[in-house]
Amino acid sequence: MTEKYILLKSNALVNAEIDNTNIEYKFTNLIFNETQLQKGNDSYFTIININKFKNLTDSAYLKTAKGILSVLEDKFQKNTLKWCFGKEHYQVTLITKVKFNEGNGNLTIYIDKDLVNFLLNYRELGTGYTPLNLSLTNQSKSFFTQRIYELLRLWSGEKKEIEYELEYLKSKLLLQDHKSYKQYKEFKRRVLAPAIKEINDKLNMKVKYEEIRVGRSVAKIKFILEDLEPRQYDFSKDKIIKEQISMEEVALDLAITNNDSVVLDSNESKNNQLHLLNRTKNKRSKDLLNNKIKNKKEELDEIEEFLKNAKVKISVSTINRLKKKYGEDLIKSGVSILCNRLKQEKITAPVKYLTGILENLKKNPNDSYNKESNNAKKLRFNNFEPREYDYEDLEKKLLGWHK
């Protein structure tokens, strides 16, 4: 796969248990990705040309229609995918039916409706998602590499150190009952060490690990990592990603709120969100949404530029998460204080430091932190007062709803 395909994988599915070989797991993620690209269908199917499967393998047999169909029919229609969400446990086969058209080489693959729901509606369900660049993961030569990478990528936007119980890690790799890997030294030699080496070599992530022992036995693995792969991608510049991610979904990521004509926030009910999204289908209404998204993006760019000038590395996803928790004004003040402090001292953990500043601003709004914030260099978007519009009234006028 030479194109850049980004799979926004529901975190519930990242934590799922699945019995796949290396190639089969690449097939699985291809099906997931194409389902997102095609936005699903009323009959829960996706259409994939057989050449996309062939491009994922060097096996002569799996480059034939017979070989690919043997995986889809004999393996994917029998093996189950298991995951949990809240108190609900799901167990479904990867696909329910497959049809092959020899004329055009297209495979019509039918998928369980619950699986489609988690692939497409991770925001509404509140599972969160992990962005996976399949052009990277498809370079892997091991199923274990792909799975460990996903489990690290799951948290890499928030943490630099991630701990997993050894037995939990084995369970996610379906090795908990394998006698061959009961001894840690064998698990390390045959699974862990090779996977970490391949992640470092191919997957745009730098990882080290430490063994945490209880007595003489290894109980946990602590991963120390630096994730160099973006967690947000430029949808406007990448044609394939732009087709995959709609503007409405970008709006959901940017959490447009307050008095906007289109409010896409986690506090809204699912029905309200769908109603609001349907309203944006009108071209003129959609222009309002696009302009609002542009403004939010420019605001984030300002923060990014300010941090960049101060030589601080904090991801956009982290800023968004902190913004949701502490509010826009505190984020602006906190970033100003952080960048000002960097001129005076060395800060090795900027996210932790910024969080501490925000907590102090939140708990003690009148203390020296706020005074320092007022004296700090303001971000450029603080230098003007925005115009105020009644977006709801404006939208009604544009749509001809005013009588």
Count how many residues are written for the chain: 403
* Tokens encoding 316: 């956009």
Residue 76: strand, helix, or coil? helix
Q: Under a CB-based contact definition with an 8 Å cutoff, are residues 143 and 21 in contact?
A: yes
Nearest to 175 by CA among 198, 192, 152: 192
The pLDDT tens digits of the residues spanning 83-135 come to: 999 999 999 999 999 999 999 999 999 999 999 999 999 888 999 999 999 99
The pLDDT tens digits of the residues spanning 285-308 come to: 555 555 655 555 555 667 777 777
> β-strand 80-85 against 17-18: which pairing, if any?
antiparallel
CA pair distance 109, 31, nearest whole angstrom: 8
CA pair distance 168, 15, nearest whole angstrom: 11
Please name the residues in contact with 37: beta carbons below 8 A apart, sequence gap of 6 or more. Answer: 5, 243, 244
Would you give the end-to-end CA distance of the chain in angstroms?
54
Residue 167: strand, helix, or coil? helix
Q: Is 126 left (phi over 0), alpha (psi -120 to 50) or beta?
A: left
Alpha-carbon 282 to chain mean position = 29
Identify the pLDDT of residue 257: 36
* Tokens encoding 305: 């530029």
Give the type of residue at 202: K
CA pair distance 88, 309, nearest whole angstrom: 47
Identify the pLDDT of residue 281: 45
CA pair distance 6, 232, nearest whole angstrom: 10
Identify the pLDDT of residue 41: 56
Sheet holding 217-227, edge to edge: 161-165, 217-227, 205-214
Q: Hey, what domains does the chain have and what are their CATH numbers?
A: 1-130 (1.10.10.10), 139-243 (1.10.10.10), 246-382 (no CATH)
Strand (E) or helix (H) holding 212: strand 205-214
Phi and psi at 218, nearest 5°, equal -80, 120
Identify the pLDDT of residue 185: 95
Please name the residues in contact with 375: beta carbons below 8 A apart, sequence gap of 6 or more. Answer: 340
Token look-up 């996309």 returns: 52
Which parts of the chain sit beneath pLDDT 70? 1-4, 40-43, 234-301, 366-403
